[in-house]
Amino acid sequence: MDIEGYAKRGLRANDPELEDKLTARILEVKKTTPQHARRLAQATIVEARNTLNVKGDILEPTVSGVTMGEFGVGSRGTGDFYTHEKIAEVIGKTGAVVDSAQLDDSGVVLGNGSDKYIIVTIDGIHSRLSDFSFLAGFHVARASLRDVYVMGARPVALLSDIHVADDGDVAKIFDHIAGITTVSELTGIPLITGSTLRIGGDMMIGERMTGGVGAVGTTSDLTARNQTRVGDVILMTEGAGGGTVSTTALYYNMHHVVNETMNVKFLEACEALIASGLLPHIHAMTDVTNGGIRGDAKEISKTAGVKLIFEEEKMRALVNPVVLDMLESLKIDYLGVSLDALLIIAPQEYAQDIMHVVKEAGVAIDIIGRVEKGSGAEIRIAGEIRDFTPRFRESAYTPIKKMIGEEEPRDFLEMKHAIDRAAENAIEKKRRIVEMIKRGSA
């Protein structure tokens, strides 16, 4: 619980009972005395009041009037993708080989005085795995390594960032690290540094955990999405899901399905491809995560300026049967959730060689589509071509997500305009602050 946010809402509403209410909320969560809870509430209100109406360009926040939940940020659908496009605009031109503007899995720069590419990425833990810190660590470490591998790079190191709320057990940290380093021991890629903090310091009570894992790798041959070419074929490996599928299994009380996600097949397939020497013949690779294949197809099409055609029957056969049974029994569209499969885009003449190498590594793979001229994506289901655009949110895969739904809000266009203005304001604010600092150091 964010007691600072609670206090600020109460102050804005001029709630005369704010101190009593906040004291009661603190006592609901923290194991403490009424006297200590009241002193904590009083101190929180003092700090909240002192930062409620700040002035000046540096301190005044940029505001859009649109909340994260309303716009679907983090929900791996059209609202989330749109926000990431705006993030790239706020960052601006970077001079990197691959940056946020390309909507790729990782960023890429050239090493100083070297022809080697340095790949950097970071993934956040699945928000619903806070109570399952080992599982959260395992899946986020695996996801981070995937994002480096799909750029055609071999990962060399992992780093972690762990935040646990004030009332969380310290052992959450150890359990989380154990999950990360399980992946390390299976792959030989070490966890070498990180940060450990409380969420919000003294202002966040409860047991919530969040954080992320980053990875760094190097390569001489990139397989970025923007290299996708007309005439290429699309291959996909088997997928059993990761954090998303685990979350579905946990919150629908189908816990046995979690075990299906505990593997490193994706990483083994990538390692086999690197060792085979085939990377120079692969145009692009990505992991089937953000919004499922629907989301990945949209991003690849936009980045490369091509149209992608998929065969549903071929894709279905590559989904772990236990996972697929669960998703279908819950009426969850498997094409709109993270399957953690490897998507490979390459010239047709190399497809058989690629599949041979991956199968030799013990991982199933097949050709599931092709790349054509045009834009967007289509899917062939039982011989019928259907549109394959992502929804406003990824497939609803927990009871709460089903309640919220996947439909685009009626005022989405208005919200987009508000987001546009907020991004423009942030860019202009950056310009002003840069000029101010330059003047001060001149």
pLDDT in tens, 181-198: 999 999 999 999 999 999
pLDDT in tens, 196-215: 999 989 899 999 999 999 99
DSSP E strand boundaries for 220-292: 233-237, 284-287
Over 90: is that where the pLDDT of 75 sits? Answer: no
pLDDT in tens, 369-409: 999 999 999 999 988 988 787 778 888 888 988 888 888 89
Residue 198 is predicted with a pLDDT of: 94
The least confident of 49-53, 149-153, 291-295 is: 291-295
Six-digit token pair at 254?
A: 């189908």
Residue 276 is predicted with a pLDDT of: 95
- Average pLDDT rounded to a whole number, residues 272-282: 94
Strand pairing category for 384-387 and 376-381:
antiparallel
- Average pLDDT rounded to a whole number, residues 253-263: 97
How does residue 229 score in pLDDT terms, banded at 50, 70 and 90?
very high
Residue 396 is predicted with a pLDDT of: 82
Residue 115 is predicted with a pLDDT of: 78
pLDDT in tens, 80-116: 889 999 999 999 999 899 888 887 778 999 988 777 9
- Average pLDDT rounded to a whole number, residues 328-355: 95
DSSP state of 111: P
The model scores a pTM over 0.85: yes
Residue with tokens 């203005």: 421
Residue 170 is predicted with a pLDDT of: 97
Q: Of 269, 304, 249, whose CA–CA distance to 146 is shortest?
A: 269
pLDDT in tens, 288-338: 986 788 888 888 898 899 999 999 999 999 999 999 999 999 999 999 899
For residue 139, which phi and psi values (nearest 5 degrees)?
A: -75, -35
Six-digit token pair at 339?
A: 């399957």
Residue 103, Cβ density class (10 Å: 0-12 exposed, 13-18 middle, ≥19 buried): buried
H-assigned helices in 150-291? 171-187, 243-251, 265-276
Residue 442 is predicted with a pLDDT of: 62
Q: Of 231, 242, 268, whose CA–CA distance to 359 is shortest?
A: 268
Residue 18 is predicted with a pLDDT of: 98
